[in-house]
Structure 1
Amino acid sequence: MLPRLVALVLLVSLILFAISFHFVAKQAEQLQQQSLEGLEQDLTFIVYDTTRQLADLAANDIIINSLVDLEQRNAYLPMFFRSLNLTQAKKVEFALFDFAGNQVIDKNWDVTLPASLDAKWRQQTLGSSNSYFSVSQYGVLISVPVLLSGVAEGALVMYVDSLQALLSPYPRLTNQVVTDANDVVLFSSQPSLIAPDTSFAEFNTRGYSLMSTSWRNLSLYSVKPTITAYREVAWISIVLVLMIVGLILITLHMLRVTGTLAENTLSALYSDIKGKLSGSEPSHSTSARIEAQELANIREAFDKLIWDLSEVSLSNEQFSNVLESMGDMLLVVDQNHHIILSNKRFDDFCAEQYDEKPAIVKFITRNFISKNRAELTHFSKETGTEKYICWTKTSLVDVNGNLRGTIFVGSDETEQRSLESHVQVLNHAMDEATVSIIISDIKRVGQPVMYVNSAFENLTGYSKNEIIGHNCRAMQGEDTDKHAIEKVRRAIANREPIEITLLNYKKNGEAFYNLLNLTPVKINGEVTHYIGFQQDVTQQRQTELYLQEAREKAEDSARLKSSFLASMSHEIRTPIHGISGVLQLLEVSELNSDQKHYLSLAKFSIQGLLHIVNDILDFSKIEAGQLQIEDAPFDIITSLENLQSQYAIMCQEKGLALHFHFNLQGCHTVKGDEVRFRQILSNLLGNAVKFTESGSIDVSFSVDRLADGKLQLSCSVSDTGIGIAPEKQDTIFDVFTQEDLSTTRKFGGTGLGLSISKQLCELMGGSIQLESEKGKGSSFTFNILLEEIDEALPILDTRAKEKTKKKGKKSKVLIVEDNEINQVIVKQQLTNHITLSAKSGIEALEALNKTKATFDIVLMDCQMPEMDGFEATKRIRNGEAGERYTSVPIVALTANAMKGDKERCEQAGMDDYLSKPFDAQDLVDKVEYWTSVRTSHNKD
């Protein structure tokens, strides 16, 4: 029986050992899996919880306002940033950037990020208004946008130089490793085994059990020595062997006891039988029963001991966990002030101090001789700042009521003290602010006011007690804009900011315009309050109304002035054209010498009158912003030579020497406004000739090439004339200004030439200056900007059209003109052609429809009764005069010369434009050119 019993015990032992080994391996695998899951949860918690906290900070009004309040943010942002502590890492760096990526403020920020990582977070957060995080060998970076109206106006960035610093404080079930895509170790729970910033591929995995998973772009590993599992199996094996030996011993003992019991039973049975046979009483033994009961009692006591030990072990573990998880510091000392117990928080605190732990304990106990609560100041060697710890003293008494020692609990009040100080500063700053500030609680019924500062009392006359707890509707009145009030209510209902001006009333009934800026305040993502800033803008509002009224009057005046000048220009140019036309007709007739002299005097007077009208119109155009500077190529040498030839004759008649000096650096073809350039130079040359009785006039030109590729043309006109007094030189370019009235009487002029020249120079990107000495002459210097163009490009010439005209051919011309004198003049100037006249647009349409002969060209006046030239032209182009005239050349003959007149003619469908008074030859050239163009088109 014994060998079979031994075999059975061995078989059961092997089965138990196999089952135990399986469960040990399974438990090791589960432990590694739990370790990986814990590591993944830690990473997720660090990234997303920190991102959420950063997002909450970015939504804080202090951060948002700092991106707007550029002047005051340095007063509170540094204190706010110093109070930030989002992770358990010892070195965390924060920075706030504005929308352009410029750093506004930081906390411990001395980071030099790689260009790719720096560009990535800026693109995601500042460019796309999204949160961004990166875990790499360069550290852990998390950025969130600071949103204003849904758009990133800045970014809040947190940086930790390594993942090792973030994950080190967390407890680990196994050795954990985190690597990046290049297999570089970013975190190792046992740096002595696997060092951070090394290649994990170089780690010899022989003798270790590995389990891995991926998280984002990282690889997570659980590394556990295989020997650990074997050690646990070995211990189990020893336990099993002991259990087997014990089982064998117990079995042998049971066999022995069973044998003894059986023997005793048989002996008792034999004795009983023998006694009965002999007639004596049998003796009963209870030793077996008593021995069995003792074994049962021993087993029961043993089980109870095991249970009690288990309970004590569990209680001690729970108690230790409670102590270590306490947010406060715990210190327990005996009656001799020796440490009995302390938690990790107190140990870490002692590590930050300069003194050793016994000295710190002595310092604490010395301050608690006669009190149970005190706030002590400690100096931290890590941060270099003082820490304020509130200590509480409690006696340690055993179960018998004996005093065993003292318990000290310390709470760190440093941050609370700093926060309270910060709040006091903010409250004081708000109360002393010169701007009225009001805060209302929109979560309560009626949205009552909960705070106003002193500036509000000064502005409205209401005291704090009169307004706090009530609504601001008392400041509204009958004249308060209801639509504006509705806008405010709608903005509050939608939890949106608003800035609006309301008519409010002070406590004494005085009305004032209130510039109200309401901003929502969020707590935990929910708008709970509104803060309002109020300003009295009554005077500003009245000024705006006054300026608006003045601007409207000025615009009306400018429109009337422009309309008056346009009307007067038309009315003056029409008779001037009549006089000029008659004089041109007289010029081609037979005249004696006296008549020719008189005719030249009349033409000179007409030219002077036209020059005055043109000066007034040019000045009006400049003043109204209607003068446009053309940008066309021209030959500067040709233009200057023409001016030289023109004024050489005038100088020769007065006996003056005229000298032109050129330094153009080979620039001939330029791009600019030739007409206005000639006008400026003509004004200066005309004044030089007019005010110089003897001597000479020197004109010099030079060209400088600027850095932007443009040309600066400088011109100086110097004379030996009467000069200008120093006290008059500052006003010589003003409107209607000459040196004195005698000059006006002697030489004539409007006083507009120099003013127009100055403004033309400025319109062309230049300026004009004067140097003069009374009685010795003057020197005017001006410069304008031009562009150099390729000499090979053709220059558009206003007379280029004449080259294609065909002379000698009589054309049929329809003259549409309501002024009879102008009709006669045009007919006489076109004696070589066949002409027919009409007095209005209606007569012109009738003539085109009823006349059998086809007209080659129409000369159209713009201002006519019944139907003007613009309407008549549109109807002709629309076919109301027949299909044969839809493309007939139409040339405008108009006395209008304001901005837009030429464009209006083109929009109406006219082909060309001739402003009155015009030269007879210009009219002939226009007619012959357009009739030749029409003839060539018909041939095609």
Structure 2
Amino acid sequence: MSLNNQLPMQWEFIISKLKSSVTVVDATSPEFPLMYVNEHFTRLTGYTHEESIGRNCRFLQGTDTNPETVSNIREALRKQQSTKVEILNYTKSGQKFWNELNIDPIFNESGDCLYFVGIQYDITERKFAEEQLKLATSLAEKTSRGQLEFIGKLNHELRTPLNGIMGMIELAGMGDITEEQKEYLELARQSGEALLHIVNNSLDMAKLGRGKMGVEHIEFQPLKLIQQIVKTHELAAMNKHIRIFCHADLSIPDVLWGDPLRLRQVLDNLLSNAIKFTEQGEVQLRVDVKQRSHEKTMLMFSVRDTGIGIPSHQISQLFDAFTQSDISHARRFGGSGLGLTICKELLELMNGSITVDSAEGKGTEFHVTVPFRSRQSIFNAG
């Protein structure tokens, strides 16, 4: 017997032993009946060769099979095109299994479509794992939202008595007291302010996590705002005997439209951190026009310090919630580790961004980029 005569039998034997399910459908019949199934198909589906041949593959479908997927298969067959789908099928015993189905048309030399060859892979375990992952993600999101709502409610309850305590400390300090009592009250005030800062940050995180935080688009004077922000931090810098100064690009527009409150919150946090982590030297706020047009002005704010710096391997975690570069820093300098996370979230709401450059022992520089609407774009919108 010649080699050519042996090939059809050899190929059929090889296909029959494949670990993948293989089917061949008669493309010349409108019912697209099965002409061939290999051994793996019968093991996968539970249907014998005799029970399968001559039937349309829809006998594998069931009540939970997606009609849209079935429609896509039919459309590919009608157009005589290749297709790849994931479809839920049923075995003879009624057990569900997920099938990755690859269908290819086979044409003769005249261009007539004679067969559709299907190769199926059992992807049930993968689909099960995907469903478990989706379920776990959904539960985690629900748990996270619940925790954030609890934090928000708890911190609202904390802020009221805390504000009362701060008020009483202020009143007590106005009376006739000794220097020692004044010192104690000042320590109490500082501790109260630190706690109030943590509460406010937690409230912001809760709002951000629940999508409740919004940004405004109002008119403000950027140079005036920057001047006010720096002035706010001058006393803290002076108490640590470090220099704080600002350099602003003179081409910054007199008026911009955006959210000055959220911008101030970001810059206040960065300057506060810079002062906190700097023992000697200086803190600088630099503001430059990065891009400007009739519609938009992009400003870059750079906050540079000569402080302790951040180890390179910890920079990637810097914007994660409740994270500080070193636990010893938390004990020494205080703070919840929420501030930078909030900055990043607020900047994303404003379509801005934040990056950091740092060298341990040499200082840190944060770069904040924020777009603002210009006067011309507001007039055009009006």
TM-score range, shorter chain: 0.7 to 0.9
Aligned to 2:35: 450
Q: 1:157-176 maps to which residues of 2 (within 5 A)?
A: none
1:557 is paired with a residue whose SS is: helix
Evaluate the alpha carbon distance shift between residue 634 and residue 728 of structure 1 in structure 2; reply closer, same or farther with a 3 A threshold. same
- Provide closer, same or farther for how the CA distance between residues 699 and 582 of structure 1 changes in structure 2, counting only shifts above 3 A: same
In the superposition, the TM-score normalised over structure 1's length comes to 0.32
Matched, 1:606 2:192: yes
Contact 1:699 1:715 in 2 (8 A): yes
Q: Give the direction of change, closer, same or farther, for the CA distance of 1:635–1:463 in structure 2 (3 Å limit).
A: same
What residue in structure 2 maps to residue 654 of structure 1?
A: 240
CA distance in 2, matches of 1:516, 1:708: 54
SS in 1 for 2:317: coil
Could you say if the C-alpha distance between residues 729 and 506 of structure 1 is closer, same or farther in structure 2, counting changes exceeding 3 Å? same
1:592 aligned onto 2:180:
no
> Who wins on radius of gyration, i.e. which is larger?
1
Does residue 663 of structure 1 match 2:243? no
Instruction: Tell me, yes or no, if structure 1 residue 674 matches structure 2 residue 260.
Output: yes
Give runs of aligned pairs for residues 107-146 of structure 1, distance below 5 A: none
Q: Report how far residue 660 of structure 1 moved.
A: 0.8
Q: How has the CA–CA distance of structure 1 residues 436 and 459 changed in structure 2, closer, same or farther, with 3 Å as cutoff?
A: farther
1:736-751 aligned at under 5 Å gives the runs 736-751=322-337
Q: In the aligned structure 2, how far is the partner of 1:791 from the partner of 1:751?
A: 38
Alignment of 1:435-584 (within 5 A): 436-439=22-25, 449-452=34-37, 456=41, 460=45, 467-469=52-54, 481-482=62-63, 484=65, 501-505=87-91, 512-514=97-99, 534-583=120-169
TM-superposed CA distance for 1:702, in Å, is: 0.5
1:769 maps onto 2:361 in alignment: no
Q: Cα RMSD over matched residues?
A: 4.6
Structure 1 residue aligned with 2:277: 691
Contact persistence 1:671–1:787 (CA under 8 A): yes
Contact 1:722 1:774 in 2 (8 A): yes
Please state how far the C-alpha of 1:447 moved relative to its aligned partner.
8.1
* Cα distance change, pair 583–707 in 1 and its aligned pair in 2 (3 A): same
Tell me which residue corresponds to 1:760.
Answer: 346
Paired residue secondary structure (2:90): strand
The offset of 1:533, in angstroms, is 7.0
Residue from 291, 295, 300 that aligns with 1:705: 291
Distance 1:632 1:726 in 2: 38
1:562 and 1:485 map into 2 onto residues whose CA distance is 37
Structure 2 Cα separation of the partners of residues 716 and 488 of structure 1: 53
1:630 is matched with 216
- Gap change, CA 1:664 and 1:547, over 3 Å in 2: farther
TM-score (norm 2): 0.73
Task: Give the letter aligned to residue 539 of structure 1.
Answer: E
CA contact (8 A) 2:249 2:288 kept: yes
Change in 2 beyond 3 A, CA 1:632/1:598: same
- Alpha-carbon distance in 1 for matches of 2:294, 2:124: 49
SS in structure 1 at match of 2:225: helix
User: How many Å separate the matches in 1 of 2:234 and 2:355?
Assistant: 24
Aligned length: 352
Aligned to 2:4: none
Deviations 1:380-416 (A, max 9, x none): xxxxxxxxxxxxxxxxxxxxxxxxxxxxxxxxxxxxx
CA distance in 2 between counterparts of 1:489 and 1:734 reads: 45
* Aligned-pair CA distance for 1:671: 1.7
User: Following superposition of structure 1 onto structure 2, how do residues 46-57 of structure 1 map, counting pairs within 5 Å?
Assistant: none
1:550 counterpart SS class: helix
The answer to whether the 8 Å contact 1:442/1:448 transfers is no
Alignment partners' CA distance in 1, 2:117 and 2:312: 62
Relative distance call for 1:504 and 1:621 in structure 2 (3 A) is: same
Q: Deviations over 1:733-772 (max 9, x none)?
A: 3332323232222211112222322333344333333333
2:112 corresponds in structure 1 to: none
Deviations 1:197-250 (A, max 9, x none): xxxxxxxxxxxxxxxxxxxxxxxxxxxxxxxxxxxxxxxxxxxxxxxxxxxxxx
Structure-2 separation of matches of 1:487 and 1:718: 57
User: In the aligned structure 1, how far is the partner of 2:26 from the partner of 2:299?
Assistant: 66
Alignment equivalent of 2:202, drawn from 610, 616, 633: 616
Per-residue CA deviation, residues 56-90 of structure 1 (Å, 9 max, x unaligned), is xxxxxxxxxxxxxxxxxxxxxxxxxxxxxxxxxxx
Q: Are the equivalent residues in 1 in contact too, given 2:26–2:34 (CA < 8 A)? A: yes
Counterpart of 1:559, as a letter, is: R
Alignment CA distance shift 1:638-1:695 (3 Å): same
The one-letter amino acid of 2:362's match is K
Cα displacement (A) at 1:646: 1.1
> What is the CA-CA distance between 1:581 and the residue it aligns to?
4.3
Aligned in 2, Cα 1:483/1:549: closer, same or farther, shift over 3 Å? closer
Structure 1 pair 510–643 and aligned structure 2 pair: CA distance change class (3 A)? closer
Residues 156 and 203 in structure 2, CA contact (< 8 A), matched pair in contact too: no
Partner of 2:315: 729
The SS at the match of 1:700 is strand
What fraction of aligned residue pairs are identical, expressed as a percent? 35
Distance 1:751 1:486 in 2: 50
State the one-letter code of the partner of 1:504: Y
Any conservation in 2 of the 1:705–1:712 contact (CA below 8 Å)? yes
Once the two structures are TM-superposed, the CA of residue 644 in structure 1 deviates from its matched residue by 1.8
Q: What is the distance in 1 between the residues matched to 2:66 and 2:254?
A: 68
1:808 aligned residue:
none
Shift of the 789–488 alpha-carbon distance from structure 1 to 2, 3 Å rule, reads: closer
Shift of 1:542: 0.7
Residue number in structure 2 paired with 1:365: none
- 1:692–1:722 CA contact under 8 A, matched in 2: yes
Q: How does 1:140-219 map to 2 (within 5 A)?
A: none
Q: What is the Cα deviation at residue 561 of structure 1? A: 1.1
**Distance in 2 of aligned mates of 1:545 and 1:782:** 39
CA gap 1:647/1:511 in 2 versus in 1, 3 angstroms: closer
Give me the whole-angstrom Cα distance separating, in 1, the residues matched to 2:34 and 2:341: 62
Cα distance, 1:678 vs structure 2: 1.0
Q: Secondary structure at the match of 1:694?
A: coil
1:472–1:694 CA distance, 2 compared to 1 (3 A): closer
- Give ranges in structure 2 of 5+ residues lacking alignment: 1-7, 105-114
Verify the 8 A CA contact 1:503 1:513 in the aligned structure 2.
yes
Relative to 1, partners in 2 of residues 1:548 and 1:488: Cα closer, same or farther, differing over 3 Å?
closer
